[in-house]
A = this chain, B = another copy of it.
C-alpha cells in the first residue's frame, strides 16, 4: 500500500469520503463520480481523484465509482473492515453522551471499557457498561487488548491519563480535553475541541 508515502492530509480526508459515500448509499445511490462526491463536501473532483490515486484505481472513466465497492476499499484502507474495541476514560456529561452514542458500531468502533476515578461512579451502569476503577486501567486494558481510547477527563488529568493509556498498549487516542497532549512516536492522537472549531468560524464573522 505504500502507507508511508501518503501525506497525512490525504489520509485525513478519506474518512470524510467514506462517510459521504455511505450517505449517498443510504439515499439509494449506486454509483457516483469524483464530481458528485466533491459537490457534497466542497472538495474538487481533481483533489478527490488525486487522493484516491494514492491507493489504486477505483473508478472507471465515464461510469465513475461503484459506491459499495469504494466503501469496501476505503474501509479496508482505513482498517475499519473490523470493529475496534475502545476504552473511555472519564464519565462526566460528555463521557455519558459518548457511552450512549449508538453511531460507532456501524463505522468500525465500539465502546468496550469505561473508567472513572470517582468512587461514587465506579460500579455504576452506564449504557450497559459497568464503570471500572481507573486505578486498574493498565491491567484491564491489556487484558482486553484494547488499542483505541477516548479521554473525557478534565484538562489537568488528560496528560496523565494518556501516559497510562500508552503504557497499557493503546495506540490511538481521541482526546476531548481542551489541552495538547504528548504521545510517543507510533501512538496516534487526535483532538475533539468545539472551541477550536468555533474560533475558526468567528474569524470570518464581522
Q: Which of B77, B94, B174, B203 contacts A197 (CB 8 A)?
A: B174
Q: List 6 A-B contacts (CB under 8 A).
A: A23-B180, A77-B203, A79-B205, A172-B202, A174-B198, A192-B194
The answer to whether B23 touches A195, judged by C-beta atoms less than 8 angstroms apart, is no
Q: How far is the CA of A191 from the CA of B197 in the complex (A)?
A: 8
Instruction: Output the least CB separation between A188 and chain B (Å).
Output: 4
Which B residue sits closest to A95, measured CB to CB?
Answer: B97
Q: Which of B77, B92, B174, B180 contacts A20 (CB 8 A)?
A: B180
Query: Assembly of this chain: how many copies?
Result: 2
Q: Which of B98, B199, B205 contacts A15 (CB 8 A)?
A: B199
The answer to whether B148 touches A18, judged by C-beta atoms less than 8 angstroms apart, is no
Known: A15-B196, A198-B174. A205 touches B188 (CB 8 A): yes
Residues of B within 8 A of A167 (CB): none
Q: How far is the CA of A100 from the CA of B96 in the complex (A)?
A: 12
Enumerate A163-205 residues with CB–CB distance to B below 8 Å.
171-174, 178-180, 188-205
Instruction: Output the least CB separation between A102 and chain B (Å).
Output: 10
The answer to whether A190 touches B195, judged by C-beta atoms less than 8 angstroms apart, is no
Q: Which of B19, B147, B194 contacts A205 (CB 8 A)?
A: B147
The answer to whether B203 touches A108, judged by C-beta atoms less than 8 angstroms apart, is no
